[in-house]
Amino acid sequence: MSKKIISLLIFLIAVPAVIFGCWKLVDGKQYYLASALIIVLALALLFFSLEKKELHTRELVAIACIVALAVAGRAVLFMLPQVKLTCAIVILAAISFGPYVGFLSGALSMFVSNIIFGQGTHTPFQMFGMGLVAFLCGLIFYNKKLGGNRWAVAAVGGVLCFAVYGFIVDSSSALFYSANLSIKTMLPVYISGLSFNAIHAVTTFIALLFATPYIKNTFDRVAKKYGLFNH
């Protein structure tokens, strides 16, 4: 089994375990603890992916720049609900720098931007959802010729944004705001979120369609020039 598949399984098992562990075993309001543990897990898997290569300062700077760009892509459109560029930016980062960088960038972007938009029980879910979307896109497109096809990137990114990120974030509402968990109580939450998720997905699709040839090429040149993340 490849390292990337093992990492994906770890993300799918460990991150939800962290979220629900902090909710059930510690305190439902300990979202800062859950957020910190998600970041630690993402960093650990990034080190694991580097194959004994040290994480240099320039790579930390690259991650910081990606996160800053992603946070700006969310904050600048604060007046338009769900019209955000964050997902598109971290997807392109994952395609250029690798899925592990994508997950870490996605998770950090949501945590940092929520300093503006407000932290809460939804924060770990947003971090997990955004990181997972970027990670999956990295698995599909990183170091592959298809990663240069903007239509393919936009289509996959839009679908994952709608299905994966939307489902995970809606789950936070269903879990934390429903007294009795059942299909009857949870289904209306998912249905009510469809329009918001669709807007977010369409925004991501359009952003990727137009930005992929420019931002991805810029990321690729930076990665190659400075030898970032095993390049």
Minimum mean pLDDT range among 52-61, 73-82, 97-106, 144-153: 52-61
Fold of 3-226: Arp2/3 complex 21 kDa subunit ARPC3 (1.10.1760)
- Provide mean pLDDT across the span 61-74: 96
pLDDT per position as a tens digit, 114-132? 999 998 888 999 999 999 9
pLDDT on residue 55: 78
The ranges assigned to domains in the chain are: 3-226
Q: Is residue 103 scored above 60 in pLDDT?
A: yes
CB atoms closer than 10 angstroms to residue 221:
11
Closest to 97 in 3D by CA, of 188, 217, 231: 231
pLDDT on residue 140: 95
pTM, two decimals, is: 0.91
